[in-house]
Structure 1
Amino acid sequence: MIPDQQDPAAAGKFDDEHYPAYTMGRAADMLGTSQNFLRSLDEAGLIEPQRSAGGHRRYSRHQLRIAARVRELVDQGTAVDAACRIVSLEDQLHEAQRRNSGEQASH
């Protein structure tokens, strides 16, 4: 399909960091890692990619940032399961800080 003939509503989804725009192969290439690495993050429950109608994994930019952080820790010598726990805890901390700053602003 020619880009200017695409549905304008669908085009806006690419601005959404949670839109699953990337195939497993493309995501692995972007991260400089293997598809097995991405599968391991799915198996660990850290990243749950959406599935296409054909059952193929699709990743969002948000998920790729999480995977890149795990990859960084693994490259520094951290085991994958430990890196997943670290990233999960970091995410929980950031969420708690965000909520806390929102509560303080409303008081």
Structure 2
Amino acid sequence: MAQPDDRFDDEDYPAYTMGAAAELIGATPDFLRRLDQAKLFTPLRSTGGHRRYSRYQLRLAARAREMVDQGTPLDAACRIIVLEDQLQEALRLNEQAQSHTTDH
């Protein structure tokens, strides 16, 4: 079981309530609900059924808000963010594989 100190560095730990998350990214709770509906991410639910957000999800939400504020439709912004995230992961895996190959 993770110790409380371990959670401070965990990007995926759902530490933020909807109200806190909305305030941190400068958006409304409705905007966060719309990101969930658009399938950008699915927040964890507390035992009481309340949405809880991780720092990783908040970064995605902040990027979506920025793009929507610049005039990008929400669905398009979500698709772009997912593709950007997939590209970053592919680049990370490629770098890891190349590093592993040169080590042997």
TM-score relative to the length of structure 2: 0.91
CA deviations on 1:27-72 (whole Å, 9 max, x unpaired) are: 0011111111000110111111000000000000110000001111
How far apart, CA to CA, are the structure 1 residues paired with 2:95 and 2:7?
29
Q: Look up the match of 1:41.
A: 35
How far apart, CA to CA, are the structure 1 residues paired with 2:64 and 2:56?
13
Distance verdict in 2 for CA 1:106–1:11, change over 3 Å: closer
Q: Percent identity?
A: 61
* 1:27 maps to 2:21: yes
1:93 to 87, 91, 95: 87
Secondary structure of the residue aligned to 1:93 is helix
Q: Which runs of 5+ in 2 are unaligned?
A: none
C-alpha displacement of 1:9: 1.8
| 1:1-107 map, 5 Å | 9-107=3-101
Supply the RMSD in Å over aligned alpha carbons: 1.2
Number of residue equivalences: 100
